[in-house]
Amino acid sequence: MPADFNRIALLTQRRHSLILGALALVLFILGNHQEAAIGFDSRFVMFANEMMRHGPGFFPTTYGQPYADYSATSTVLTWLLSLPLGKVTSLTAWLPTAFASATLVTLMYRLIAPQSSTWALVSVALLLLSMTFVTETRAVSLDQMLAAVSFSAFYLAYSHEHFGAPRRYFLLLALLVLGFAIRGPIGLVIPTGIVCSFYLLNGQWRRLITFGLQALVLLVLCIGTLLMLAWISGGEDFVHEVIRMQVTGRMDGTEGASSVLYYFTSSMGNYALAYPLAIAVLVAILVAGRKQSGPALQLVKYCVAAALVVMIGLSIPQAKKARYLLPMMPMVAIIAAYPFQVMQGRVFGVLRGFIQGIFLLLPGLLIAGLLVARSRFGEQLPALNGTFMVLAVLQLLAVGLLFKAQWRMAGLAACAVLALWSSYIMVYEPAERSLYDTRAFTQKTMQLIDQAPAPLVLHGMGKDAKAIKFMVNVNRDLLPLFTQSPAELSALPAPVWIVMDRKDYEALQGSELGNIAPALSGRFDKNDYVLLHMR
């Protein structure tokens, strides 16, 4: 009977995890269909646009040439999702990331719910309240996809040992290959380190060594395959470019460098509330000492080890960005929510009260924040009346839930999550897309060029930077010319169209080119740009 009861309970928890994951997926894609690509998304949307025109390949392309920094895995996913529509939209571009984030939510609940559904729900809420998680979920994020792969590997290892699930060893190795396909060498190394940390804490030395060696063999095979595909795609020079961009450039700092402690310090803000709360929880556990024990604490230890493997491992390369650390986020959220599993101890009680207080007050705090933002940046913000109404309803609902003990914790967490995400979707995203829009200027530029066809020159716009934000809005193949200096501009044969920053145009005043009146002026990626027609 107990075995049957446990099996029924496990099936119920799995059903709840799927429902929670489906609801999360709806939230992640809400209001997203025809949004213009901005920022880092522009690169991946351009990859997908070119794949729509030319078909899939081993590497994505820009300007018809293979791009060395990524394999084509995520672009192929976007391409497949876009085929039924006949074009790439923000929804088809973001959907793989949204699925990855929903997978994280599903597996987090399924991992923790057997011990405490409250702990599981608060863990999910703290995950969804991290702004880095929010911004990466509503974007094209290979690091979020890697986070899903890494946590899936962690879940497989844990569920075999603690839930009696099948070992699924080949699925574990398949996840490593998938991680490599998505993120290159680091995509295999991170989940390997996480799983090895689990085996290490369990004292499973034989399994640790076996899995580590198998992962090493897979890494060598995957790198060899990657370099072979690079040679097929672009020859020897492209092979060297792949090695530089995916390995050596990250290690030696040529792609940007930060201090060794960058992740340990910057995460206080980038991964709040979960990261600072997790540190407080670990301090509380150390203070409690041997008073704490059991499988829940053991899970916390597994999460600490996995998070440290990610943080320390990623601190070795010189190139560091906040989003790289996403694979440790689920573990940190689980640790931060641990006080809802431990009912004894004054410090844990204080932490529970603090978290509940944040959940309760967050809608009101967001209303206050938006009022301040409207007084300072009113012209740059969309209409806020609808957002204020949503937040006010959520705040009243949260206060009402204080008197419903059965629904209190889950309800407060849901209100907090909905408050943050509604504010982000209804206010932050529209303001950001308006401020950094590149679609309007590009489309007007192309209309003028179509009326008087001539070569297009992008002046002072890096081929892999600003120019990408222009080209992502061009719905056909186009090979622009690139110039950086006034001398290069002067050498251009007429007729030609030239796009440049207004500051660069003003610096040309007095020259022949500076005397040409702009055919178009407008905002482009937060700056003033002009289009000149040199006849």
pLDDT digits (tens, 9 = 90+) for 476-526: 999 999 999 999 998 999 899 999 999 999 999 988 889 999 999 999 999
Q: Is a pLDDT exceeding 90 seen at residue 215?
A: yes
The arithmetic mean of pLDDT across residues 351-357, rounded, is: 97
**What does pLDDT average to over the chain?**
93
Q: How confident is the model at residue 252 (pLDDT cuts 50, 70, 90)?
A: low
Q: What are phi and psi of 119, to 5 degrees?
A: -60, -45
Q: Is a pLDDT exceeding 80 seen at residue 341?
A: yes
Which pLDDT does position 340 carry in this prediction?
A: 95
The arithmetic mean of pLDDT across residues 103-129, rounded, is: 97
The amino acid that residue 133 corresponds to is: F
The arithmetic mean of pLDDT across residues 249-264, rounded, is: 74
Same domain flag for 217 and 296: yes
Q: What dihedral angle (degrees, nearest 10) is formed by the CA atoms of 104, 356, 415, 431?
A: -80
Same domain flag for 353 and 483: no
Same domain flag for 325 and 363: no
Domain end, chosen from 344, 371, 402, is at 344
What residue numbers bound the domain in which 335 lies?
Answer: 2-344
Which pLDDT does position 253 carry in this prediction?
A: 59
Residue predicted with more confidence, 257 or 124: 124
Cβ neighbors of 117 (< 8 A, separation 6 or more) are 13, 16
Which pLDDT does position 288 carry in this prediction?
A: 80
CA neighbor of 473 nearest in space, from 101, 36, 48: 36
Same domain flag for 60 and 189: yes
DSSP per-residue string spanning 301-361: HHHHHHHHHHHHHHHSSS---GGGGGGGHHHHHHHHTGGGT----HHHHHHHHHHHHHHHH
Residue 405 to residues 149, 377, 410, 521, Cα–Cα distance (Å): 36, 40, 10, 59
Residue 361 to residues 281, 369, 400, 415, 426, Cα–Cα distance (Å): 21, 12, 12, 10, 19
CA neighbor of 355 nearest in space, from 24, 122, 121, 115: 122
Are 241 and 464 within 8 A, CB to CB? no
Are 330 and 275 within 8 A, CB to CB? no
CA neighbor of 141 nearest in space, from 175, 182, 174, 89: 182
CA neighbor of 53 nearest in space, from 96, 88, 91: 88
Quote the Cα angle for 437-441-445, to 5°. 155
Give the span between the Cα atoms of 273 and 267, in whole angstroms. 10
Give the span between the Cα atoms of 123 and 117, in whole angstroms. 10
Same domain flag for 122 and 202: yes
**pLDDT per position as a tens digit, 162-205:** 887 777 889 999 999 999 999 999 999 999 999 999 999 999 99
The amino acid that residue 389 corresponds to is: M
Q: What are phi and psi of 433, to 5 degrees?
A: -70, -30
Contacts by residues 11-15 (CB-CB < 8 Å, ≥ 24 positions apart): 13/109, 13/110, 13/113, 13/114, 13/117, 14/110
Helix (H, G, I), strand (E, B) or coil at 456: strand
Is the whole model's pTM more than 0.85, yes or no?
yes
Same domain flag for 89 and 216: yes
The arithmetic mean of pLDDT across residues 237-246, rounded, is: 93
Domain end, chosen from 310, 327, 344, is at 344
Same domain flag for 375 and 410: yes
Same domain flag for 404 and 513: no
Same domain flag for 448 and 303: no
Cβ neighbors of 342 (< 8 A, separation 6 or more) are 292, 296, 348
**pLDDT per position as a tens digit, 436-468:** 999 999 999 999 999 999 999 999 999 999 999
Domain end, chosen from 407, 435, 463, is at 435
Same domain flag for 411 and 263: no
Q: How confident is the model at residue 256 (pLDDT cuts 50, 70, 90)?
A: low
Same domain flag for 357 and 322: no
How many domains, the chain?
3
Give the span between the Cα atoms of 419 and 413, in whole angstroms. 10
The arithmetic mean of pLDDT across residues 109-130, rounded, is: 96
Which pLDDT does position 5 carry in this prediction?
A: 47
Which pLDDT does position 357 carry in this prediction?
A: 97
Q: How confident is the model at residue 257 (pLDDT cuts 50, 70, 90)?
A: low
Which pLDDT does position 368 carry in this prediction?
A: 97
Which pLDDT does position 419 carry in this prediction?
A: 98
Residues written for the chain: 535
User: Residue 397: which H helix or E strand, with range?
Assistant: helix 385-401
The arithmetic mean of pLDDT across residues 327-335, rounded, is: 98
DSSP, res 478 = -
Helix (H, G, I), strand (E, B) or coil at 438: coil
Helix (H, G, I), strand (E, B) or coil at 258: coil
Which pLDDT does position 173 carry in this prediction?
A: 96
Same domain flag for 529 and 515: yes
**pLDDT per position as a tens digit, 1-47:** 344 547 787 788 899 999 999 999 999 999 877 788 999 999 999 99
Q: Is a pLDDT exceeding 80 seen at residue 224?
A: yes
Are 222 and 177 within 8 A, CB to CB? yes
